[in-house]
């Protein structure tokens, strides 16, 4: 499915999924029917650049001869961002809106106080949007899709003390349910006549 819809890659890490307390990374894509799908998963020993690079290189190998992702959305984890730059050097790498806002607050506290009092208190999203307007994003400006997949997975898990075998089994259950749901949207799209669409990933992919 990723070879069919490779343009967008969203990445985020979640915790409390296994008995070893190892971070669990989910890689998410988006279909033509605007449904999220799991591209891959990785259990990492630590959140170091070498660990993320290992996972991303395996992920990239799944594309075979397909085009690579053009947009990658992550949180502000510097190790992950550096790995994305190393493995997918030609992709536009974006942070989510919330992470951009927090980064501004962290680096320019005094300026932020003025901005918050003057502008941001009136329209937060419009201000943050100016930081993203010139960057290719295919309409995805947050990691919400990945966070939603974290929530779905944890509904399947039997608490936080799973073995890796159990974690893999629960993940496969989630993927199978996801495939059925996505398949239904594909079938519906074949019989639904639409005069136009506003799905940015396909509008911008043709530019």
Q: What percent of the chain has pLDDT over 90?
A: 42
Q: Is 38's pLDDT higher than 80?
A: yes
pLDDT of res. 96: 58
Q: What is the pLDDT of residues 97-121, one digit of tens each?
A: 544 555 555 655 655 565 555 555 4
Q: Strands 36-43 and 24-30, how do they pair?
A: antiparallel
Q: What is the pLDDT of residues 46-88, one digit of tens each?
A: 999 999 999 999 999 999 888 888 899 988 888 999 999 999 9
Number of C-alpha atoms within 13 angstroms, CB side, residue 25?
A: 23
Query: d(Cα 153, Cα 163) in Å, to the nearest integer?
Result: 15
DSSP structural state of residue 170: H
pLDDT of res. 158: 79
Q: Is 17's pLDDT higher than 70?
A: yes
DSSP output for 83-97: HHHHH-TTSEEEE-H
What does the pLDDT average to over 172-187? 91
What are the φ and ψ backbone dihedral angles of 73, each rounded to 5 degrees? -115, 125
Q: Is 164's pLDDT higher than 90?
A: yes
pTM value is: 0.74
List CB contacts of 148: < 8 A, sequence separation 6 or more: 36
Do the beta carbons of residue 75 and residue 143 sit within 8 Å?
Answer: yes
**pLDDT: which is higher, 94 or 16:** 16
What are the φ and ψ backbone dihedral angles of 30, each rounded to 5 degrees? -135, 135
pLDDT of res. 191: 81
- Band the pLDDT of 176: cuts 50, 70, 90: very high
How do the domains of the chain map onto residue ranges? Answer: 8-95+136-205
pLDDT of res. 97: 54
| Residue of 88, 43, 97, 94 whose CA lies nearest to 69 | 88
8-95+136-205 is classed CATH 3.30.420.10: yes
Do the beta carbons of residue 40 and residue 106 sit within 8 Å?
Answer: no
Integer-rounded Cα Rg, in Å, for the chain is 18
Which string of b and e fits 64-75 if b means at least 16 CB within 10 Å? eeeeebbbbbbb
Please provide the average confidence, as pLDDT, over all residues in the chain: 80
pLDDT of res. 149: 84
Q: What is the pLDDT of residues 131-153, one digit of tens each?
A: 555 566 666 666 777 888 888 88
Tokens found for residue 61: 């190998």
């Amino acid at each position: 499915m990723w070879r069919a819809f490779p343009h967008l890659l969203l990445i985020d890490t979640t915790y409390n999924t296994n008995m070893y307390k190892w971070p669990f990374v989910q890689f998410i894509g988006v279909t033509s029917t605007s449904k999220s799908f799991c591209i891959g998963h990785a259990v990492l020993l630590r959140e170091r650049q070498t660990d993320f690079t290992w996972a991303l290189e395996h992920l990239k190998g799944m594309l075979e001869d397909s085009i690579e992702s053009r947009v990658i959305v992550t949180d502000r984890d510097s190790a992950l961002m550096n790995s994305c730059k190393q493995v997918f050097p030609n992709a536009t790498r974006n942070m989510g809106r919330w992470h951009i806002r927090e980064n501004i607050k962290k680096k320019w506290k005094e300026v932020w106080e003025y901005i918050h009092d003057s502008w941001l208190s009136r329209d937060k999203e419009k201000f943050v949007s100016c930081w993203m307007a010139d960057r290719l994003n295919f309409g995805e400006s947050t990691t919400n899709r990945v966070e939603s997949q974290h929530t779905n997975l944890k509904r399947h898990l039997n608490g936080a003390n799973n073995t890796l075998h159990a974690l893999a089994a629960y993940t496969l259950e989630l993927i199978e349910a996801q495939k059925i749901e996505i398949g239904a949207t594909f079938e519906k799209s074949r019989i639904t006549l639409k005069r136009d669409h506003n799905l940015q990933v396909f509008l911008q992919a043709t530019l």
